Amino acid sequence: MFEKVLIANRGEVALRIHRACREMGIKTVAVHSEADANAMHVRLADEAVCIGPARSTDSYLNKSAIISAAIITGADAIHPGFGFLSENADFAEMVEEHGITFIGPKPEQIRMMGDKLRAREAAINSGLPVIPGSPALATVEDAKKWALEIGYPVIIKAKAGGGGKGMKVAFNETEIETAYTMARAEAKASFTSDEVYMEKYLQKPRHIEIQVLADTYGNVVHLGERDCSIQRKNQKVIEETPSPALNQQQRAEIGEIARSAVEKIGYSSAGTLEFLFEDGKFYFLEMNTRLQVEHPITEAVTGIDIVREQIRIANGAKLGYTQDDITFSGCAIECRINAEDPSTFAPNPGKITEWHAPGGLGIRVDSEIYSGYKIPPFYDSMIAKLIVSGKTRNTALMRLHRALEEFVIDGIKTTIPLHQKIISRPDYIDGMYNIHWLEDLLEKK
């Protein structure tokens, strides 16, 4: 097993990885920016290296500084967490070139899945159902032609897109030019390529994703689904498993379709296949070749430590179990708690004057926050994940109400009141929501 792992990330995910490493007897190296010298991931790690100034481009995205830190500290492997360099194929390649193991899939697999058009092609070839769509669009005329072929409404998406950016919807021909131009401009500003393509825009789908684990010997299992339909600006806010929208047969079918596609693609490590689900049909969206923010709900119902499995797989271990060995028990829900004003969503970093995390049966809080900690203004505003589980969805929901009520985060504004509002709505309680439900609710107020 690895002796020392460098964690190329910050915040709660850095802690999450540190915890898995400690339980496996592996030493950890934290890297941090100048703004994060007092962060919890730095305090808990065995060693810490400052890799640059506050700005992510100078620190957490600074490939050579991170690799140098790994070499200096003698780390055998690097875990990239999520965000930052986690889906950067060049980084994964650089890591391997320096004789260090990248804890994740092969660079080529990251590259393929990071290109939405190539990913679509791989999906089609491996038997996954995809949304009707176009090839790369070279001109507005091209976009118009394809929109007629596919049928309005359509969504124009950046080929290299991620994080919900670079996507624009057109409901009719008068909107297509603006959608095309804006998607292209956004793609150019945010990604390595400004190429865009088009998909049929589904109007009331749910976002359902399947977690998979694959070792380097071709063994693949799926760990069930997560329903991530509670979204704002295409970003997930609350996730739950199992999805209230699926019956046992649909669940088993999509799980097996995803599992067998991953086997055909020859992927290894943890990964997630995202689908839209509408009128009883699944449509493949993309594959994330990394750990996901919402992985703990899957851990809660399967008992499998996904980070531990990622590390074992990267170290060349076999899964050691088959699909039949995976059992699912109960329900789990996760709330992403952000340091934001819950009514305007403006980031609200600052000093935490008091912190009390809820506890008790079925509660897990993953967070880097402690009393007196000053949240720096430079990074993502997610500061805590609250994960609750229970035998039934109702138990989990009651527990979630209780835990949100018990949570104390003073000194800054957080999105806790938003979560309380969401989980009190009859539609949410009945599991009747799609990807637009939250935005509709926010507009109504």
Residues forming contacts to ligand ADP in the complex (CB under 6 A) are 131, 155, 161-165, 167, 199, 201-202, 205, 207, 231, 234, 274, 276, 285-286, 435
Q: 163 vs 360, which CB is nearer to ligand ADP?
A: 163
Give me the DSSP letters along 7-62: E---HHHHHHHHHHHHHTT-EEEEEEEGGGTT-HHHHHSSEEEEEE-SSGGGTTT-
Q: 26 vs 113, which CB is nearer to ligand ADP?
A: 113
Shortest separation between residue 380's beta carbon and ligand ADP, angstroms: 14
**Residue whose token pair is 């007092």:** 38
290 is catalytic: yes
Shortest separation between residue 141's beta carbon and ligand ADP, angstroms: 22
Identify whether the C-beta of residue 7 lies closer than 8 Å to the C-beta of residue 41.
Answer: yes
- Angle, in degrees to the nearest 10, between helices 437-444 and 416-424: 100
Shortest separation between residue 200's beta carbon and ligand ADP, angstroms: 6
My answer on whether omega of the bond before 426 falls inside 30° of 0, hence cis, is no
Shortest separation between residue 1's beta carbon and ligand ADP, angstroms: 33
Shortest separation between residue 353's beta carbon and ligand ADP, angstroms: 35
DSSP class of residue 320 equals: -
Identify whether the C-beta of residue 210 lies closer than 8 Å to the C-beta of residue 255.
Answer: yes
Q: 51 vs 155, which CB is nearer to ligand ADP?
A: 155
Give me the DSSP letters along 130-184: B--B-S-B-SHHHHHHHHHHH-SSEEEEETT--TT-SEEEESSHHHHHHHHHHHH
DSSP class of residue 399 equals: H
Rounded distance between C-alpha atoms, residue 225 and residue 346, angstroms: 31
Q: 36 vs 239, which CB is nearer to ligand ADP?
A: 239
Q: 207 vs 413, which CB is nearer to ligand ADP?
A: 207
226, 290, 336, 399: the active-site residue = 290
State the catalytic residues.
Answer: 290
